[in-house]
Structure 1
Amino acid sequence: MDAGLFTANNVWMMLATALVFFMHTGFAFLEIGLTRQKNTINILFKNIFIITVGLLLYYAWGFNMMYPGFEEGSSGIFGFAGFGIAAPEGGMTPDYADGGYTWWTDFLFQGMFAATAATIVSGAVAERIKIGSFMIFTVVYVGLVYPIVGAWKWGGGFLDSWGFYDFAGSTLVHSVGGWAALVAIFLLGSRVGKFDENGKPKAIPGHNIPLATAGVLILWLGWFGFNGGSVLSADPELTSLVLVTTSLAAAAGGVGAFILSTILYKNMDLTMFLNGILGGLVGITAGADLMSPNEAVIIGFVAGLIIVLGVAFIDKLKLDDPVGAVTVHLITGIWGTLAVGLFGDKAGAGQFMTQLYGVLIVGVFCIVCSFIILGALKAIMGLRVSKEEEVEGLDLHEHGMDAYPDFTND
């Protein structure tokens, strides 16, 4: 391979890595914007913990657990290539990864993905989880569960051999986080004041919607790296197609959610609009490289409708998800994964069933693991803060700090 092309590929992958890293800013802004002022420090602390510890765990063993190099004839369920990330022979040359990038870039790009799964959970459990319990959960889930599931497809495991397709992680990233979020909010219970005595949901407004809006726009920008980098090279045709399908799905998702929520609730809800954009992004992620622009619009638009219906469904189940993480990442993640069998280059009944089996297998594994981890934490040290701590705010009780010391806290 030409040295210039190898360098160009690697530079694009490093830029994509930076964009995915920047997504953590978007997640942080979105989560604090959609929750109350008194819990801002707590949410920011969790997000910073996820990035730092997640990257260290991925360095220590996660990368080699996710890409173990399954031997031919193995079950493709679990493998481990050893601790650390010592570069193999040829890891810095075009002989590695078909000249798409170097070993170091590969590690860092995948490491940015690893932390995202726990960030999804952070928003769902906001405003009432004990910080210590969340930190332990993050260590186990990011350190073990995420790389094991990732190995099943991206590491050449059994889902890959079956033909399961997930381009950039509608299932392997988003639903892995979404399943854990669902289990966590079930075990935690709802926030004080979320449901009235008749079980009817009540709105608990976020304290900074402009910041939440900025968060969504940052996430949209970061998705250019999330999906665009998943081409794993700077291939001009495929990379540009992926960026187009990603953007069109995001736009269609926002419009779909805006239209349906306006029809159902007779008001133009900005938060539904924002989550519709995210739903479109999650929905296209599994097949962004397979879809035409028209198909991307359809997938995104349906994802936007799913957002509105999904948020109402979660409320009906009396589950409290402050940022809509379960709907955005789990439900539209499932939709996007199944859409690979309905649209695009791989569409067909056989592919659809393979996608469905993959969704179910990953779902069962993540649910069981989440119940074990969170159930053990609940029994040993508790998951939820006291009512007094929740009412007064986690910033004060967990951190002894105020995000806005010059303003009244509420």
Structure 2
Amino acid sequence: MLGDFSYCNPTRLYFGENALDNLAGELAEYGEKVLLVYGGGSIKRTGLYDQVVSILKESGKQIFEVPGVMPNPTLEKLYEGCEAARTHNADLILAVGGGSCCDYAKAVSASAWCGEDPWEKYFERGEEVDCRVIPVGCVLTMVGTGSEMNGGAVITNRTEKLKADLEFGESVFPRFTILNPRLTFTLPRYQMVSGIYDIFNHITEQYFSGEDDNTTDYIAEGLMRSLLHSSRIALRDPEDYEARSNIMWTATWALNSLLGQGKSTDWMVHMIGQSVGAYTDATHGMTLSAVSMAYYRFLMAYGLPKFKRFAVNVWDVDPAGKTDEAIAGEGLDRMEAWMEELGVVMNLRELGVTEDMLEGIADGTFLLTGGYKILTREEVITILKASM
């Protein structure tokens, strides 16, 4: 493990088929004014909306709603939520939906009372939260983002064609999250597999950085192997409870900050993918899958020992009689075959990207320094072209 670090995660999780039974007890800890945020209406079709509203009313809460949170929440939508939170003086923001709803709730939590433009404060200047924070709770219906147990929030500025990952501190972490795997059964297959790849990429973003032999990497390998196993079962039977519950639990631990402790992390697939998303509004996990293979094949030469370990420990590649390059390459080949088995998007054209967008996507890609190679803008363009 590298350096000194402090680790704390304040989110309380309720997991299982009866997890929603714990909502009333949590609501008792907060004031009477609840801002309910949700997406396009699927929770009404499934009956979850009625269940949650019933619990809120039985708990004596006043309910104010912000519906229509989109898969890639926009800055304009953030302003709308902030206005609603201030107008009603919300005591709790309850997000019911997928990761985008959780992201949105946290962004509103940190922004409603900040006293200035949140984009300028948190994104342009990178400042910490120093204002009143509205507590957040989540009822999760889609897995993948890990937003239910971290302080991150991805917001899209459509005017500037930028998709920014705002990282807030512990004060903005959800206070509680309800995790019932059965709530994910109604997802279309496209969304299920997109979420599965998002989970996997969250792990690889933290795994492919640093060459020290640390405990965190062993945890990451175990999570990846579990995800591979359960994903194949879920592909055959999307309502296999054990498989979907394992996927949900893996998603939470993939991005609750545990895997980033004591090591550097990369996140360049996310930076490129999020810039693609700002241009296409494509499903997040699919923007990651579309650029992953080109990026990791480019990166392999700079982190060969870890890519070799990945091939052997995650993909069961037999190293006997092979060069390190051949072992690492076979691991990536097996990863690509699994992605194709999932049915995720494998190139940018499927997302509507055209050649004339590549320069702008590269300009919107934030270049991070934690991985094996600090990319240049020209290298980002090379990776984008290889992803077409």
TM-score with structure 2 setting the length: 0.27
Structure showing greater relative contact order (alpha-carbon pairs closer than 8 Å, 6 or more residues apart): 1
User: Per residue, is there more helix in 1 or in 2?
Assistant: 1
